[in-house]
Amino acid sequence: MAKVFIHATVTLDGYLADVNGGVDWMFDVETVPEDESVVTNVMAEIGAVVGGANRTQTIEDGEIPYGGMLKVPVYLMTHSPHEPVEHDGITYTFVVDDLAQAIEAAEHAAGEKWVSLLGGSISRQCLQLGLVDEIHLDVVPILLGEGISLFGGLGMRVDLERLETSAFASETHLRYRVRS
């Protein structure tokens, strides 16, 4: 059965995007091969992705999970029906208002691989529903001061067990199991 995990690059103050949703700050951080290896190894385990659809239910180049490097099924949460979209070898399936259904479909598609959750809202909702197995964070040494928080508004306590920690030139990589 697939593992469901939150995978995010965040600033030290816990933001995954600036106030306008921008993530350009991610590309200002120097990395070393060890940092890239951690992320590459995680990406090799991903068999499906669940995230949120944009308002127009289109697939814009800047919104493609993992920059299109992963050719795995993507399930996007939406409030209105939309036919699947095929873009650059990736099928995007829109799921209306049923996050548990999206996770179930992604788990089926992923098989023995992992289901990656992208975005703060999706991640928080899955935590609240008890659907998350692990959290993987790549923390960069930047303080944005304000922005879109990964866990802000979660509204509940979640106990974690540290599985792995590594730090190299600039990033700190954290991996936790969610205790049920």
Q: Which domains does the chain have, with CATH numbers?
A: 4-179 (3.40.430.10)
What pLDDT shows up at residue 166?
Answer: 95
The answer to whether residues 126 and 132 touch, using CB atoms and an 8 Å cutoff, is yes
What pLDDT shows up at residue 58?
Answer: 65
Question: Distance from first CA to last CA of the chain, Å, rounded?
Answer: 17
Cα–Cα dist 13/41, whole Å:
25
What pLDDT shows up at residue 82?
Answer: 86
Count how many Cα atoms sit within 13 Å of the Cα of residue 6 in the half-sphere of its side chain: 28
Query: Which residues on neighbouring strands pair with residue 5, listed in sequence order?
Result: 116, 134
The answer to whether residues 30 and 170 touch, using CB atoms and an 8 Å cutoff, is yes
CA nearest to 43, candidates 15, 17, 72 = 72
Q: Which residue ranges in the chain fall short of pLDDT 70?
A: 54-63
Token duo for residue 101? 């259904």
Residue type, 156: M
What pLDDT shows up at residue 3?
Answer: 96
Query: Which residues on neighbouring strands pair with residue 90, listed in sequence order?
Result: 87
pLDDT digits (tens, 9 = 90+) for 117-162: 998 999 999 999 999 999 999 999 999 999 999 999 999 999 999 9
The answer to whether residues 60 and 83 touch, using CB atoms and an 8 Å cutoff, is no
